[in-house]
Amino acid sequence: MTDNTNEKLLKIADNFPFKGEIIEIKRTGSGHINSTYLVTCTDSNVNYQYILQLINPTVFKKPDELMSNVMNVTSFLRNKIILDGGNPERETLTFLYTKDSSPYYRDEDGACWRAYNYIGACTTYDKGDDPIKMMRSAKAFGVFQKRLADYPIDNLFETIPNFHNTPARYDQLKEAIANNASGRLDMVREEIEFALSREKDASKLTDMIKSGDLPIRVTHNDTKINNVLFDLITNEAFCVIDLDTVMPGLSLYDFGDGIRSGAATADEDEQDLDKFNFDLNLYYAYAEGFLSEAATALTQNEVDNMAFSAKLMTLECGVRFLTDFLNGDVYFGIKYPEHNLVRCRTQFKLVREIEKNMDEMNEKTAELYRRALLEK
């Protein structure tokens, strides 16, 4: 960090009610969206730590709506955690208002900054590569869903419109096919046929929303395992983080994406498809963890479509990778020209394997749901 950068960060940090004198600001985290810094302060020989974060203006164009969602949801969670006898300082993020009582600070360049308390004695995992990690991360998202089940949904902004509107994603794919901006159409005929042959599945959940058969809930929309904090001593999952995509949606979006990102045997950009498979045991572990906490908050229609949601969220993601490949890689970051095509192929292979196991997944999910209700 240069002296000029350090001076600028100190000036920004001074707008937040940090306790004590700032003794260090250093870059932290591996996220690709927001720039994040760990601020260490001291007061009477006691250290306090905070996170100072620049909100990415390209991704989040309406910071007022974003921070309204984050502030209101975490405040609601704090009250629920207290009622449950938990520790609100560890079980949810605590965002700080500026000294001027604003949820963020806008600097002289127009950039928006926010701050929240740092949570220590914890770790994160990039991959849910065993059933215990998967179950524990799912329990954390199940608790998140359960505690927010009666949140006044009309108070939430839709910060990214149509984020999981799968029919809209198919419309974007068909537009990309028609335009063929990258000239790659002939390379992906097989992938296009795969996607279009499953287009009838795209509208199932959105149709159920329209008919009132699925409730709109608070959803996280990025339920990867690395968005859960695990206690360093117990290794239990205790806090869901990265709340920027919290908005109205379906519990099935969160569950399905947790499976998509967590129940595969390799990373989504694995080029050897023989190494990329669907792990049914990881699905069971995740479903068991999620239902052990959220079962009483869910409707029968939600439970009946949990396995299907894993297929749909994976299909939607593959369609998005394919669309971006056809458009010339304008959305997702790539490391080589075929990167998005590789990602598309892993997702479509996962869809095939989920389809083969769908009956068994539905039966096991129903069994786990019954068991969770009996244990409550």
Q: Which tens digit of pLDDT belongs to each residue from 5-29?
A: 689 999 999 999 999 999 999 998 7
Please report, for the chain, the start and end positions of each structural domain, with discontinuous segments joined by +. Answer: 3-120, 131-375
> What pLDDT is stored for residue 135 in this prediction?
98
**pLDDT above 90 for 83:** yes
Pairing of strands 228-231, 95-96: unpaired
Contact call for residues 294 and 306 (beta carbons, < 8 A):
no
Q: What are the Cα distances from residue 329, in Å, to 184, 232, 333, 337?
A: 11, 39, 7, 8
131-375: same fold as 3-120?
no
Token look-up 């519990």 returns 251
Tokens of 302: 């939600």
Topology of domain 3-120 in CATH is Phosphorylase Kinase; domain 1 (3.30.200)
Share of the chain above pLDDT 70, in %: 97
Which phi-psi region, left, alpha or beta, contains residue 137 (left: φ > 0; alpha: ψ -120 to 50)? alpha
> What pLDDT is stored for residue 336 in this prediction?
98
User: pLDDT grade, residue 2 (50/70/90)?
Assistant: very low
User: pLDDT grade, residue 33 (50/70/90)?
Assistant: low
Superfamily (CATH) of domain 131-375: Aminoglycoside phosphotransferase (APH), C-terminal lobe (3.90.1200.10)
CA 58, 320, 246, 234 torsion-angle sign: negative
> What pLDDT is stored for residue 282 in this prediction?
98
Query: Residues 207-266: pLDDT tens digits?
Result: 999 999 999 999 999 999 999 999 999 999 999 999 999 999 999 999 999 999 999 999
**Mean pLDDT of the chain, nearest integer:** 95
Strand blocks (E) in 166-278 = 217-219, 228-231, 237-240, 247-249
Mean predicted confidence (pLDDT) in 193-201: 98
CA 130, 266, 121, 85 torsion-angle sign: negative
| Angle at CA of residue 68, ends 63 and 73, nearest 5° | 135
User: pLDDT grade, residue 4 (50/70/90)?
Assistant: low
CA distance 90 to 119: 6
Query: Residues 110-165: pLDDT tens digits?
Result: 999 999 999 999 999 998 889 999 999 999 999 999 999 999 999 999 998 899 99
Tokens of 32: 């690709």
CB neighbourhood size of 59 (10 A): 14
Contact call for residues 90 and 238 (beta carbons, < 8 A):
yes
CA distance 257 to 353: 16
User: pLDDT grade, residue 1 (50/70/90)?
Assistant: very low
Cβ partners under 8 Å of residue 90, min gap 6: 119, 238, 239
**Could you say which DSSP state residue 236 is in?**
-
> What pLDDT is stored for residue 200 in this prediction?
97
Cβ partners under 8 Å of residue 205, min gap 6: 166, 214, 250, 252, 305, 309, 312
Q: What is the reported pTM?
A: 0.94
Mean predicted confidence (pLDDT) in 26-55: 87
Share of the chain above pLDDT 90, in %: 92
269-275: long-range contacts at Cβ-Cβ below 8 A with a sequence spacing of 24 or more? 269/335, 269/339, 269/342, 269/343, 269/346, 270/342, 270/346, 271/342, 273/345, 273/346, 273/349
CA distance 112 to 269: 33
Query: Residues 294-312: pLDDT tens digits?
Result: 999 999 999 999 999 999 9
Per-residue buried b or exposed e for 11-47, using 16+ beta carbons within 10 Å of the residue's own CB: ebbebbebeeebeebeeeeeeebbeebebbbeeeeee
CA distance 293 to 295: 6
Cβ partners under 8 Å of residue 290, min gap 6: 138, 139, 141, 142, 145, 255, 258
